[in-house]
Amino acid sequence: MSDTTPPVPLLEVRELTKNFHVPGRGNNVLCALDKITLQVGRGETLGLVGESGCGKSTLARTLLMLERPDGGSIRFDGTDPFALTGKDLLAWRRRVQMVFQDPFASLNARMTAGEIISEPWSTHTTLYPSKKAREGRLRELLQIVGLRPSDAGKSPQEFSGGQRQRIGIARALALDPDVIVLDEPVSALDLSVQAQVLNLLNDLQHRLGVAYIFISHDLSVVRHVADRVAVMYLGRIIETGTTEQVFDRPRHPYTAALMSASPRLDVSDTTPRNRIVLEGEMPSPLDPPSGCRFRTRCWKAQDICATDAPPATGSTDNPEHIAECHFPLLPIPVTDLFARRS
């Protein structure tokens, strides 16, 4: 790929907004997504990071057209999926699939693994039209995700958590999608099994060129799988960049706090860690703070943060490394950051 012509992104999201109306007292509009802008390239993994209630699952659902946005646009391979109808819409849905968090709740216990994986073909009938083609593809899919062809006849409860997640991945792959949205795909799994599934996802991406939108609260997992990372806070993407940029030189104070708060395994590092321990919790999305949404917990907040929403600005050396902050952190290695704070 040449450097001069930037590749057309597979998925382009601009200023996507989604409000929910909550019945009851006071301000009843919950702004779950507030002008989200992001891109995902072919075969790329975008890591979506944030705490519960930040809007990452709503974003995933909107990208899958399970929610209708209140503003902004989605372009998938150049077309707006929300303008599609009938056959075109069906064809689009095939290209975007999802893997769910809970491998116990997301598989129908009354169906066999084979039925679960093949079910999408009864909606998308033209993809593998003949019985023979479907049987062959089912065997192939089971093999790709590391299960045996004989497993097709078993029901989900006969499998372990890791194996169930493999079934969920096979089901998502059944329609040969271009993008898979993975919503916390390994957080219900034990560590040793988690590594197996992460390896599988990595291997599949290499072989099939599928793009992932990988939602996780586990920063070490995201760091391992993502090419680029978007950090969300109260419905906004407050920082985005390559994985190295965001993890090693965070610019937004919230990102830095998030990195600092997640425990580290390295026991050989004996320098005491001065952590940024944020005060309080994420404010209610029904009543977000004025100006910068993070200001109520930010140690760098000034008057301007309460009055003006910070613009999204690129870093001086990396314009692609964008943060929404009036006082972005200097591009210093994150280890120094820990050492300076108390």
Partner 1 sequence: MRTATVAVPRASMIDDDVVLTVTGLNVDLRTPKGVLRAVNDVSFEALSGRTLALLGESGCGKSMTAKALAGLLDPVADVTGGTVVLGGTDLAALTAKERLAYAGPELGIVFQDALTALNPVYTVGTQLGEAFRIHEGLSAKAAKVKAIELMGRVGIPEPESRVDSFPHQFSGGMRQRILIAMAVALNPRLLIADEPTTALDVTVQAQIMKLLRDLRTDSHMAVVLITHDLALVAEEADTVAVMYAGNVVETGPVKEVFGAPHHPYTRGLLDSVPADVGRGQDLTSIAGSPPELHRIPDGCVYQSRCPLVQDICRAVRPALEPDGAQRAVACHFSEELAHV
Site residues (CB under 8 A) for partner 1?
Answer: 51-52, 160-163, 190-196, 198-199, 202-203, 217, 219-221, 223-227, 243, 257-258, 260-268, 273, 275, 277-279, 281-282
Q: State the minimum distance, in angstroms, from the CB of residue 87 to partner 1.
A: 37
Strands 236-242 and 228-233: antiparallel
SS3 269: coil
Residue whose CB is less far from partner 1, 72 or 146? 146
Residue whose CB is less far from partner 1, 160 or 302? 160
Report how far residue 284's alpha carbon sits from residue 234's, in angstroms, rounded to the nearest whole number: 8
Residue 292 phi, psi dihedral angles, 5° rounding? -75, 130
Q: State the minimum distance, in angstroms, from the CB of residue 160 to partner 1.
A: 5
Residue whose CB is less far from partner 1, 107 or 138? 107
The H-assigned helical ranges of the chain are 56-63, 86-95, 113-118, 120-123, 131-144, 161-173, 191-208, 219-225, 243-248, 253-261, 303-307, 334-340
Q: State the minimum distance, in angstroms, from the CB of residue 206 to partner 1.
A: 8
Q: State the minimum distance, in angstroms, from the CB of residue 153 to partner 1.
A: 20
Residue whose CB is less far from partner 1, 183 or 227? 227
Q: State the minimum distance, in angstroms, from the CB of residue 310 to partner 1.
A: 20
Q: State the minimum distance, in angstroms, from the CB of residue 288 to partner 1.
A: 16
- What are the angstrom distances between the C-alpha of 239 and each of 8, 36, 235, 317? 22, 11, 12, 15
Residue whose CB is less far from partner 1, 134 or 321? 321
Residue whose CB is less far from partner 1, 39 or 163? 163
SS3 48: strand
How many other C-beta atoms are found inside a 10 Å radius of the C-beta of residue 287? Answer: 9
Report DSSP letters for 184-237, one per residue.
STTTTS-HHHHHHHHHHHHHHHHHH--EEEEEES-HHHHHHH-SEEEEEETTEE
